[in-house]
Amino acid sequence: MTATEFFSALANDTRLRCLMLLSRHDQLCVCELTHALGASQPHISRHLAQLRELGLVTDSRRGLWVYYRINPAIPSWAKAVLDKTASGTEDTSPFVEDEAMLEAMANRPGDARCA
């Protein structure tokens, strides 16, 4: 992954918002990301696929759910940028609202079924 590819990924609102949520949580299901961002599943999945192809996130399937997490093998400079961006945006819109929507979500994957 080049710096240009990395920053290009962050320049998209949907991808940045997903990455900020993923940087604050160990892993999230696609359904959690769609709920938090208020976007359709195909829209979120398309952006997550781009992040996966770039190597920024990894995914794992468990039953009906696909979980995403920040790839632990990303370069240290990229991890530092994500961490600093997450800490710098935690009190700003739309990141505050995304986190609130996630926390308010009923039927999260740990429950009997995903929303």
Total count of domains within the chain:
1
Q: Residue 115 and residue 65: Cα distance in Å, rounded?
A: 11
User: Does the pLDDT at position 6 exceed 70?
Assistant: yes
72 occurs within a structural domain: yes
**Mean per-residue pLDDT, 48-69:** 93
**Which domain does 38 fall in, by range?**
12-104
What pLDDT is attached to residue 29? 94
68 occurs within a structural domain: yes
Q: Residue 43 and residue 66: Cα distance in Å, rounded?
A: 15
70 occurs within a structural domain: yes
114 occurs within a structural domain: no
Question: pTM of the entire structure?
Answer: 0.90
**Mean per-residue pLDDT, 65-69:** 91
User: Does the pLDDT at position 113 exceed 70?
Assistant: no
111 occurs within a structural domain: no
112 occurs within a structural domain: no
| Domain CATH for 41 | 1.10.10.10
Task: List strands edge to edge, sheet with 65-70.
Answer: 28-29, 65-70, 57-62
